């Protein structure tokens, strides 16, 4: 089909009748639908904001739980830490051992989740 033929087809009365039969309305005649479609960006931005806030709350709660568990483990093994220091093990090696003790399950569960 040539461009001229397409233009003629669009201007025919038959096309207008087909639009009426399928109940397609002009943009100006559908204000409620236009209002709804204009709300999509605002709604999406609100959902993103809620997702960010819930993520921050979840990370804060998770950090608190990890801190509490880490503190309890260190308090329970205080005698072993003292023995290791008395044997000359560096603070970095002791600290890295306990950090790995906590990070390995977190990394593993993060990959699964």
Cβ contacts of 106 within 8 Å, gap of 6 or more: 66
pTM over 0.85: no
Per the rule left: phi > 0, alpha: psi between -120 and 50, beta: everything else, 44 is alpha
- Quickly state the pLDDT bin for 93 (edges 50, 70, 90): very high
CA atoms of 24 and 20, how far apart (whole Å): 6
Q: What is the pLDDT of residue 22?
A: 59
pLDDT digits (tens, 9 = 90+) for 18-68: 656 656 555 566 666 666 667 788 889 999 999 999 999 998 998 898 889
Q: Which of 73, 65, 80, 75 is nearest to 100 (CA)?
A: 73
């Amino acid at each position: 089909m040539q461009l001229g033929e397409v233009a003629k087809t669009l201007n025919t009365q038959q096309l207008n009748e087909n639009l009426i039969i399928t109940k397609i309305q002009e943009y100006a005649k559908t204000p409620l639908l236009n209002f709804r479609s204009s709300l999509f960006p605002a709604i999406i931005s609100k959902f993103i904001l809620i997702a960010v806030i819930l993520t921050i709350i979840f990370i804060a709660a998770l950090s608190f739980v990890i801190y509490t568990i880490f503190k309890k483990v260190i308090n329970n093994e205080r005698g072993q830490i003292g023995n290791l220091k008395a044997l000359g093990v560096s603070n970095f090696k002791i600290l890295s051992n306990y950090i790995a003790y906590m990070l390995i399950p977190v990394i593993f569960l993060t990959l699964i989740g």
